[in-house]
Structure 1
Amino acid sequence: MNESELAAKIDHTVLGPETTVTDVERVLDEAAEYGMNACIPPCYVAEADEYAPSVTLATVVGFPHGQHATGAKRDEAVLAWEDGADELDMVLNIGRLKAGETEAVREDIEEVVAAVPIPVKVIIETALLTDDEKHAACEAVAEADAAFVKTSTGFADGGAKVADVELMSEYLPVKASGGIGDYEKAKAMLDAGAERIGASSGVEIVADFRDADN
């Protein structure tokens, strides 16, 4: 894997509650410079699409807890797509999953997937789930015809773990996110089967790769 191939696997991310449009423009500039994608809050998607139309742009739906009503998630997804999002990262309804309501979880995801013609990645928040619940979540995501299953929002304790990526990759392509701050951690996730990395440290990951490669 060369540098450009690595960069294309990184969703360079800024999603904190204090994120400003200046923060978003910085992330977009860095994504454009290094060849990464960007993942930003939905309120900035239209501005971001105009500011950096060449950057693959992801945003979030039902973030960060997944407890929005299904209709709200669907409408949020459609608006994001209309504003220029290329991909969506939606949060699965974790409470319903933990209650064993897997059909409701699947239907929630299906509504969003069916509403937009762009890839939907589904965040299952692995740090909050047992292994049995992780399997149930991945099954629901796959049955709902989503494009990816994703480890974490970054807002729960704990982030991406190799064992979780290995489990999840049995079902769908995996986006590993949460606590990935350098190339060593990113490489471990990619080696475990991840096809995408979500990180606020995209620049550092690519820089670490350059140092390791030299």
Structure 2
Amino acid sequence: MNRSELAPLIDHTVLGPETTPADVRDGLDAARRHGMNACIPPYAVEEAAAYAPDVTLATVVGFPHGQNTRETKRREGVTAWQAGADELDVVINVGRLRAGEDDAVRAELEELVAAVPIPVKAILETALLSDAEKRRACEAAAAAGAAMVKTSTGFEASGARTDDVALMSEYLPVKASGGIGSYDEAAAMLEAGAERIGASSGVAILEGAPE
């Protein structure tokens, strides 16, 4: 896959706890220059939409632990959409999933999906889940009408893995995210079935791709 084909599949991500408005603008400049999307903190969405209206903007909901209330997640998502977000990446409630409360996980996602007219990606945080739990999370996301499932927040010890991508792709399109820092790593995720890459190293990934 060459650079022009790969670029629109990358969500160039700026989501660290110390991310400044200048960091966001730098990320948007890189995304615009290379033809990537951008994934930015919720506080920066309105400013980012005005600064880079031609860049597809994703932002996060319930980030990074996913333990906000249903109402809080819904309000976060609606606020982000109204501010100019084009896509939402929401962290599922891993605690409820691990407790066997799959209906609650589904209902929470379903409520957010119904509240906004933009794609919602469900972040599973695969490093915390068994394969059986990953399957149940994917089933809940699919039943809720999520557009994609995403591997990771990038804040756990391990991130995206090709075997997880292959498993998740049985249910919904997959965004592989977490620890992807090179073209070879991104290509492996795409080969495993990912349709989107989330990475803070978007520029480095593209620079490693064939021209």
Question: TM-score band (shorter)?
Answer: over 0.9
Matches within 5 A, 1:31-70: 31-70=31-70
1:150 equivalent to 2:136? Answer no
In structure 1, the partner of 2:24 is: 24
In structure 2, the partner of 1:182 is: 182
In structure 1, the partner of 2:128 is: 128
CA distance in 2 between partners of 1:2 and 1:177 (Å)? 20
In structure 2, the partner of 1:197 is: 197
Cα distance, 1:164 vs. partner? 0.1
CA distance in 2 between partners of 1:44 and 1:104 (Å)? 30
Q: What's the % identity of the aligned pairs?
A: 68
User: Deviation per CA, 1:140-168, whole angstroms, max 9, x where unpaired?
Assistant: 00000000000000011100000000000
Cα distance, 1:5 vs. partner? 1.6
User: Deviation per CA, 1:162-196, whole angstroms, max 9, x where unpaired?
Assistant: 00000000000000000000000000000000000
Aligned length: 211
CA distance in 2 between partners of 1:198 and 1:3 (Å)? 16
Unaligned runs of 5+ in 2: none
Matches within 5 A, 1:137-176: 137-176=137-176
Partner SS, residue 135 of structure 1: helix
Partner SS, residue 176 of structure 1: strand
Q: TM-score, normalised by structure 2?
A: 0.99
Unaligned runs of 5+ in 1: none
CA distance in 2 between partners of 1:106 and 1:15 (Å)? 26
User: Deviation per CA, 1:114-156, whole angstroms, max 9, x where unpaired?
Assistant: 0000000000000000000000000000000000000000011
> How big is the alpha-carbon RMSD for the aligned residues of Structure 1 and Structure 2?
0.6
CA distance in 2 between partners of 1:102 and 1:79 (Å)? 26
Q: TM-score, normalised by structure 1?
A: 0.98
CA distance in 2 between partners of 1:142 and 1:90 (Å)? 14
Cα distance, 1:26 vs. partner? 0.3
In structure 2, the partner of 1:11 is: 11
Cα distance, 1:11 vs. partner? 0.1
Cα distance, 1:2 vs. partner? 2.8
Matches within 5 A, 1:94-105: 94-105=94-105
1:93 equivalent to 2:93? Answer yes
What is the letter of the counterpart of residue 80 of structure 1? A
What is the letter of the counterpart of residue 122 of structure 1? A
Partner SS, residue 122 of structure 2: strand
Partner SS, residue 133 of structure 1: helix
Cα distance, 1:85 vs. partner? 0.2
Runs of 4 or more off by more than 3 Å in structure 1? none
